[in-house]
């Protein structure tokens, strides 16, 4: 008995220690399949990805290039996060129809709302094309020569791939360019809004609760994919019909408990898991702090103005969420790296790496990598910060500067490529209209006063707001009229343009080129380092960094201990929503209807075994930005939840996955169903789904 126990413990430790990783769905057979089984999965690799038969992957759609979504009915019903559909919900909202505040529910298909520029993309097939992509590449080539040879090879691959006419193809580098994979895809462009809870459910807890647990956010929204009469991708048309998917996810009513297998299937955007210690140090001690400061300065103004005015609140909702989201994530990332001692650990790892190089006689090939990293980063730090700070001011936080930044590009065209003037002007006018749709000059001026001192303290002059044409869309468009000479002349007379131009010029002529040059050297070395790691330490497991391609990550439902003597249970309940409720608060208000349902205990079939409505749960799935909206899938392939966040201390998992404290946060699908059915009264949507009971035999 004792003997058995020890073995058990050993296995358990091994399994937790091995967790993490975002795996390529076409390569799960073998190691991943075994590991998934050991964690409780009943799925085979082919259940997840199969080219010849329908499989789970056919239900997973890349949502507008930045989030994930999944099909949950035979009629193309699509589930994603509230924060993923936020831009669409906002764009249909007005003071009269405030869907952000009140929610939106289409009670039949004719009420579903079309969305310009929204698309969902499915993966048809994944092929390893490394040999072809790297054909003809030699060590004697410069980085530039290598890249242009690779680009040529990829062009050939794109041209010659076997695919249907309505399908698309793209090739992407993996393992820092040591491998290449080709994706055949199908892109649907008629995606309509079906339902969204009010923000007081879909964004409950807002920024205070963002990136933290315990969490009580019903972060979901519903869309529907429409296709042409042949069930193929098509632009919006009223004649389109609901899409019949190759696969859709059944929805489990049986929920989860600690230790249950979970898999998250989606499109993680970007990770950097193989950085040298010196890079982690630069990012968390220099780079992040400077960008955090700029966003904090912007948010101070935006938050105050949003609270003061409903019109500003609606206009700035998406912008504020975008700015605040990364701001808080970076703070958590810095915290987690510090708390887990990640830099020292990475240094210790590098000692082991050097030892392995020596033992395997690889020093002559790779012995210089680490010292070179030290040197490159020392030389890269300032320019990396300067460039990103520019972007934070001229592209993320301040919109007057953003408009001048874009206008500068028009001036360049007017001066150098007048034949393109018309095309670029049209694009710019559309851009300016887009900005002005949600622009408030007073707010923007406040932001300017707060952020500009952090970029260029010697040159802050907000008087430009009273003189420029850019703060008024009609005047701004007028400014851009006429022939090339006129455009140049008028632009250079504008006060804001005059003010911003030297900084923009510095960016284009000095900052960005220097950054690109140094960054390229780092990327090349990182590619060599990746190869060296795999050769020197071949028994470790290497998953490719996230690159917005479809990945599988898996784990188990687990709580965690954020600090001494504190343990977070993995499941939160509706009771917690009520505990957090602050009447009238912009973050923690709760809709009356939800309070009524709670008081009446009108929970339907959506409770846990304890009679409570579950809201969110935690897992050890290794996720990142882009995994938002990804389905959490049970051991049998059913939907149990919707990924939407990570815990604060765990956001460092983009650089350093630590199974002790890295957790992803999911909405329990029963909360989604409860809100759709009981809160919204949209029972027809529930009827459209396939509800299953995998745990009741």
Residues near ligand GLU (CB under 6 A): 67, 623-628, 644-646
Residue 348, CB-side half-sphere exposure with 13 Å CA sphere: 5
Among candidate residues 221, 572, 628, 653, the one labeled active-site is 628
Query: Residue 200's binding partner, choosing from ligand ARG, ligand GLU, none, with beta-carbon cut-off 5 to 8 A by kind?
Result: none
189 vs 645, which CB is nearer to ligand ARG?
645
| Residue 642 Cβ vs ligand ARG, minimum distance, rounded to whole Å | 12
Site string for ligand ARG, 62-91 (x = CB under 6 A): ---------------------x--------
Query: Residue 207's binding partner, choosing from ligand ARG, ligand GLU, none, with beta-carbon cut-off 5 to 8 A by kind?
Result: ligand ARG
Q: Regarding beta strands 251-252 and 113-114, do their DSSP bridges make them parallel or antiparallel, or are they unpaired?
A: unpaired
The neighbour count for residue 75, using CB atoms within 10 Å, is 17
Q: Which of 76, 177, 614, 625 binds ligand ARG (CB under 6 A)?
A: 625
105 DSSP β-pair partners: 195
**Quick check: 670 and 641 in contact, CB under 8 A?**
no
80 vs 240, which CB is nearer to ligand GLU?
80
| Residue 286 Cβ vs ligand GLU, minimum distance, rounded to whole Å | 22
324 vs 452, which CB is nearer to ligand ARG?
324
- For position 206 contacting ligand ARG by CB under 6 A, the verdict is yes
Which range of residues in 68-76, 256-264, 317-325, 524-532 is near ligand ARG by CB under 6 A?
A: 317-325
470 vs 648, which CB is nearer to ligand ARG?
648
Q: Which of 55, 90, 210, 262 binds ligand ARG (CB under 6 A)?
A: 210
313 vs 663, which CB is nearer to ligand GLU?
663
Among candidate residues 219, 260, 645, 668, the one labeled active-site is 219
336 vs 625, which CB is nearer to ligand ARG?
625
Which range of residues in 199-207, 418-426, 493-501, 632-640 is near ligand ARG by CB under 6 A?
A: 199-207
632 DSSP β-pair partners: 264, 641
Q: Which of 193, 253, 321, 407 binds ligand ARG (CB under 6 A)?
A: 321
69 vs 471, which CB is nearer to ligand GLU?
69
Query: Coil, strand, or helix at residue 554?
Result: strand
State how far the Cα of 676 lies from the Cα of 624, in Å rounded to an integer: 27
446 vs 625, which CB is nearer to ligand ARG?
625
State how far the Cα of 183 lies from the Cα of 72, in Å rounded to an integer: 23
State the DSSP H helix or E strand holding residue 178, giving kind and residue range, or none if neither: none
- Angle formed by the axes of helices 512-536 and 143-160, nearest 10°: 80
The two structure tokens encoding residue 344: 């020292």
Query: Residue 626's binding partner, choosing from ligand GLU, ligand ARG, none, with beta-carbon cut-off 5 to 8 A by kind?
Result: ligand GLU
Q: Which of 104, 174, 211, 267 binds ligand ARG (CB under 6 A)?
A: 211
335 vs 362, which CB is nearer to ligand GLU?
335
Which range of residues in 7-15, 200-208, 365-373, 391-399 is near ligand ARG by CB under 6 A?
A: 200-208
Q: Any idea which residue has 């790779």 for tokens?
A: 366
Of 636, 571, 591, 505, nearest in space to 215 by CA? 571
80 vs 210, which CB is nearer to ligand ARG?
210
- For position 340 contacting ligand ARG by CB under 6 A, the verdict is no
Residue nearest to ligand ARG as judged by C-beta position: 83
Query: Residue 250's binding partner, choosing from ligand ARG, ligand GLU, none, with beta-carbon cut-off 5 to 8 A by kind?
Result: none
| Residue 693 Cβ vs ligand GLU, minimum distance, rounded to whole Å | 29
91 is catalytic: no
Query: Residue 203's binding partner, choosing from ligand ARG, ligand GLU, none, with beta-carbon cut-off 5 to 8 A by kind?
Result: ligand ARG
Query: 148: which residues sit within 8 A by CB, 6+ positions away?
Result: none
Residues in 642-671 that interact with ligand ARG by CB under 6 A: 644-645
Residue 472, CB-side half-sphere exposure with 13 Å CA sphere: 11
Which range of residues in 121-129, 205-213, 266-274, 677-685 is near ligand ARG by CB under 6 A?
A: 205-213
| Residue 437 Cβ vs ligand ARG, minimum distance, rounded to whole Å | 20
| Residue 325 Cβ vs ligand GLU, minimum distance, rounded to whole Å | 7
32 vs 651, which CB is nearer to ligand ARG?
651
DSSP per position, 7-58: HHHHHHHHHHHT----B-GGG-TTHHHHHHHHTT----HHHH--SSS--GGG
State how far the Cα of 279 lies from the Cα of 654, in Å rounded to an integer: 13
State how far the Cα of 161 lies from the Cα of 156, in Å rounded to an integer: 9
| Residue 666 Cβ vs ligand GLU, minimum distance, rounded to whole Å | 10
| Residue 263 Cβ vs ligand ARG, minimum distance, rounded to whole Å | 20
Burial of 601 by CB count in 10 Å (0-12 exposed, 13-18 middle, 19+ buried)?
exposed
| Residue 312 Cβ vs ligand GLU, minimum distance, rounded to whole Å | 24
- For position 318 contacting ligand ARG by CB under 6 A, the verdict is no
| Residue 231 Cβ vs ligand GLU, minimum distance, rounded to whole Å | 29
Query: Residue 623's binding partner, choosing from ligand ARG, ligand GLU, none, with beta-carbon cut-off 5 to 8 A by kind?
Result: ligand GLU
Phi, psi (degrees; rounded to nearest 5) at 545: -55, 150
- For position 203 contacting ligand ARG by CB under 6 A, the verdict is yes
219 is catalytic: yes
Burial of 367 by CB count in 10 Å (0-12 exposed, 13-18 middle, 19+ buried)?
middle
653 is catalytic: no
583 to 577, 586, 663: CA distances (angstroms):
12, 9, 30
b/e 17-43 (16+ beta carbons within 10 angstroms → b): eebbbbbbbbbbeeebbebbeebebeb
543 vs 603, which CB is nearer to ligand GLU?
543
Residue nearest to ligand GLU as judged by C-beta position: 628
Query: 228: which residues sit within 8 A by CB, 6+ positions away?
Result: 234, 237, 239, 240, 241
Among candidate residues 83, 216, 436, 622, the one labeled active-site is 83
- For position 597 contacting ligand ARG by CB under 6 A, the verdict is no
Distance of CA 37 to the CA centre of its chain: 28
- For position 324 contacting ligand ARG by CB under 6 A, the verdict is yes
**Quick check: 287 and 334 in contact, CB under 8 A?**
no
The DSSP call for residue 104 is E
State how far the Cα of 138 lies from the Cα of 136, in Å rounded to an integer: 6
State how far the Cα of 208 lies from the Cα of 288, in Å rounded to an integer: 20
**Quick check: 384 and 447 in contact, CB under 8 A?**
no
- For position 633 contacting ligand ARG by CB under 6 A, the verdict is no
Phi, psi (degrees; rounded to nearest 5) at 616: -135, 160
| Residue 626 Cβ vs ligand GLU, minimum distance, rounded to whole Å | 5
Residue 188, CB-side half-sphere exposure with 13 Å CA sphere: 32
| Residue 199 Cβ vs ligand ARG, minimum distance, rounded to whole Å | 9
| Cis geometry, peptide bond prior to residue 214 (ω within 30 degrees of 0) | yes
Query: Residue 206's binding partner, choosing from ligand GLU, ligand ARG, none, with beta-carbon cut-off 5 to 8 A by kind?
Result: ligand ARG
Q: Which residues are catalytic?
A: 83, 219, 628
Question: What residues make contact with ligand ARG under the rule CB under 6 A?
Answer: 83, 203, 206-207, 210-211, 321, 324-325, 625, 628, 644-645
């Amino acid at each position: 008995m004792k003997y058995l126990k020890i073995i058990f413990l050993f296995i358990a430790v091994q399994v937790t220690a091995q967790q993490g990783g975002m795996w390529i769905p076409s390569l799960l057979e073998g190691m991943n399949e075994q590991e998934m089984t050991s964690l409780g999965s009943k799925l085979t690799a082919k259940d997840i990805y199969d080219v010849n038969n329908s499989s789970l992957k056919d239900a997973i759609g890349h949502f507008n290039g930045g989030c994930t979504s999944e099909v949950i009915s035979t009629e193309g019903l699509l589930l994603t996060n509230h924060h993923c559909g936020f831009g669409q919900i906002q764009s249909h909202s007005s003071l009269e129809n405030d869907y952000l505040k009140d929610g939106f529910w289409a009670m039949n298909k004719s009420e579903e709302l079309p969305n310009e520029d929204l698309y969902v993309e499915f993966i048809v097939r994944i092929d390893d094309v490394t040999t072809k992509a790297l054909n003809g590449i030699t060590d004697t080539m410069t980085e530039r020569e290598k890249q242009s040879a690779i680009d040529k090879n990829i062009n050939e691959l794109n041209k010659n791939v076997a695919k249907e006419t309505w399908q698309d193809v793209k090739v992407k580098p993996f393992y820092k360019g040591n491998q290449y994979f080709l994706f055949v895809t199908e892109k649907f462009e008629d995606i309509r809004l079906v339902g969204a809870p009010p923000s007081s459910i879909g964004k409950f807890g807002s920024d205070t609760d963002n990136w933290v647990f315990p969490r009580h956010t019903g972060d979901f929204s519903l869309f529907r994919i429409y296709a042409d009469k042949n069930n193929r991708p098509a632009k919006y048309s009223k004649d389109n019909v609901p899409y019949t998917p190759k696969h859709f996810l059944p929805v489990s009513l049986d929920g989860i408990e600690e230790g249950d297998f979970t898999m998250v299937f989606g499109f993680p955007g970007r990770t950097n898991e193989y950085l040298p210690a010196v890079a982690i140090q630069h990012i968390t001690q220099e780079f992040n702090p400077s960008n955090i400061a700029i966003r904090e300065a912007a948010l101070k103004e935006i938050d105050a103005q949003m609270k003061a005015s409903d019109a500003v609140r609606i206009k700035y909702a998406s912008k504020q969420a975008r700015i605040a989201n990364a701001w808080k994530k970076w703070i958590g990332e810095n915290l987690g790296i510090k708390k887990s001692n990640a830099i020292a650990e990475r240094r210790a790892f590098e000692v082991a790496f050097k030892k392995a190089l020596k033992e395997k006689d690889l020093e002559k090939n790779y012995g210089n990598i680490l010292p070179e990293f030290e040197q490159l980063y020392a030389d890269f730090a300032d320019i990396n910060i300067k460039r990103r700070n520019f972007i934070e001011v001229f592209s993320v936080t301040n919109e007057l500067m953003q408009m001048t930044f874009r206008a500068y590009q028009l001036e360049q065209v007017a001066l150098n490529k007048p034949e393109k003037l018309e095309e670029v002007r049209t694009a710019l006018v559309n851009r300016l209209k887009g900005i002005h749709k949600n622009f408030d000059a007073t707010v923007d001026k406040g932001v300017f006063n707060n952020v500009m001192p952090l970029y260029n303290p010697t040159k802050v002059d907000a008087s430009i707001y009273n003189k420029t044409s850019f703060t008024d869309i009609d005047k701004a468009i007028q400014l851009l009229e006429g022939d090339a000479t006129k455009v140049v002349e008028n632009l250079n007379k504008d006060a804001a343009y005059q003010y911003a131009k030297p900084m923009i010029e510095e960016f284009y002529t000095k900052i960005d080129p220097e950054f690109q040059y140094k960054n390229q050297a780092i990327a090349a070395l990182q590619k060599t380092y990746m190869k060296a790691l795999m050769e020197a330490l071949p028994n470790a497991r290497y998953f490719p960094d996230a690159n917005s391609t479809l990945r599988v990550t898996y784990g188990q439902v687990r709580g965690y201990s954020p600090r001494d003597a504190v343990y977070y249970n993995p499941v939160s309940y509706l009771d917690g929503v009520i505990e957090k409720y602050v009447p009238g608060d912009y973050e923690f208000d709760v809709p009356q209807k939800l309070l009524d349902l709670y008081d009446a205990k009108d929970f339907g079939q959506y409770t846990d075994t304890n009679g409570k409505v579950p809201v969110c749960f935690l897992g050890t799935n290794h996720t990142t930005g882009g995994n938002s909206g990804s389905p959490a899938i049970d051991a049998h392939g059913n939907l149990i939840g919707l990924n939407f966040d990570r815990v604060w201390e765990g956001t460092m998992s983009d650089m350093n996955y630590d199974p002790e404290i890295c957790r992803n946060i999911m909405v329990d699908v029963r909360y989604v169903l409860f809100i759709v059915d009981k809160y919204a009264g949209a029972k027809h949507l529930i009827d459209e789904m396939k509800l299953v009971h995998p745990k009741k035999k």
